Amino acid sequence: MGFRLDRFTTLYVVHPLQRQGSNLSVPVLMYHSIADEDENDVRAYFRTATSSRVFADQIASLHEAGYEALGVSEAVKRLKSHSQTMSRGVVITFDDGFHNFYTNAFPILNRYSFTATVYLPTAYIGENHLSFKGKKCMTWNEVRELKKHGISFGSHTVTHPKLYGLRAKAINEEVLVSKQTIEQKLSCAVDSFAYPYAFPEIDTEFKGRLRAILCQAGYKNGVCTTVGRSDPNSDPFFLKRLPVNSDDDPQFFQAKLAGAYDWLAKPQYVLKTAKNWVSSVRQS
């Protein structure tokens, strides 16, 4: 593994300076594909594959450390009540509904009686295996089987578009139709939504409009791609998450759980703000 500035800063600058005390934050882990994939042409931060071996080690470490795997709704409930049990709570999420969750991730989670929430882009979940981003996705029968074993499911839109920039009508269709489809297929309420792609947290107007659309559609909570842990002050519709992949060695993984990776959100916010300003200047 080559040098990573984010890893170096996390492990050797932020983590040693962290203060110990009451911890009401919860790490919401963001996984995608659980498989051995060649991502050498992708920068380490942007990789989305976690090998089965690494994933098994990470879940085992959570179990050994006494973590309790929570559903998103339960995590939000405990955060609102400032429950001290959050010190050993973790939310495990998966985006995109890949088939390797069924074959590779679930057996490992089930070994430790851990739950997880899988966010489905419903256009790619069918009666037969469909493909998304070159990977096979689960079928509805597999999703129903997983639900019987305690896995929760949320919406990841219908076609996984970049919602930012779409008209309100198109956003509403992606948000509502996906929810209705999952509810119809699973005969249960769907109350959680995962925002696809980079979350435009600097645009407060867009966030407000999207939040209103989610509320109107009947969602209760959601997750996004903003880096960090979630706390009692977090917007329950846009909970921060910690990206995880095969490059997260045990030391780095534990530091993320402890909150030492949360620092990255600030420089990312500044960078996005600067890019937005430059773009607006060029257009004026």
Question: What pLDDT does 86 receive?
Answer: 75
Mean of pLDDT over the chain: 94
Query: Which tokens hold the place of 35?
Result: 């498989």
Q: How far is CA 96 from each of CA 12, 56, 73, 206, rounded to the nearest angstrom?
A: 33, 20, 20, 23
Strand 89-95, strand 68-70: pairing: parallel
CATH fold of the domain at 26-262? TIM Barrel (3.20.20)
Q: Rounded mean pLDDT of 251-259?
A: 96
Q: Rounded mean pLDDT of 2-30?
A: 88
Strand 239-243, strand 28-31: pairing: parallel
Please enumerate, as own/partner, the contacts of 11-18 that have beta carbons within 8 Å and a separation of 24 or more: 11/251, 11/252, 11/255, 11/260, 14/255, 14/260, 14/261, 14/263, 15/255, 15/258, 15/260, 18/258, 18/259, 18/260
Q: 263-281: per-residue pLDDT in tens?
A: 999 999 998 888 777 666 6
How far is 207 from 228, CA to CA, in rounded Å?
18
Q: 108-136: per-residue pLDDT in tens?
A: 999 999 999 999 999 999 999 999 999 99
Question: What pLDDT does 3 receive?
Answer: 85
Is residue 2 predicted with pLDDT exceeding 90? no
Strand 135-136, strand 239-243: pairing: unpaired
Q: 184-197: per-residue pLDDT in tens?
A: 999 999 999 999 99
Q: Rounded mean pLDDT of 25-37?
A: 97
- How much of the chain, in percent, has pLDDT values that exceed 70? 96
Question: What pLDDT does 279 receive?
Answer: 63
How far is 120 from 129, CA to CA, in rounded Å?
14
Q: Model's pTM, two decimal places?
A: 0.95
Q: Name the residue among 143, 22, 32 with its Cα closest to residue 92.
A: 32
Question: What pLDDT does 87 receive?
Answer: 78
Helical H segments across 69-160, by residue range: 72-80, 99-100, 106-111, 140-148
Q: Yes or no: say if 31 and 91 are a contact pair by the CB < 8 Å rule.
A: no
Helix then strand then coil, in percent of the chain rounded to 5, is: 45, 20, 35
Question: What pLDDT does 20 receive?
Answer: 64
Is residue 102 predicted with pLDDT exceeding 60? yes
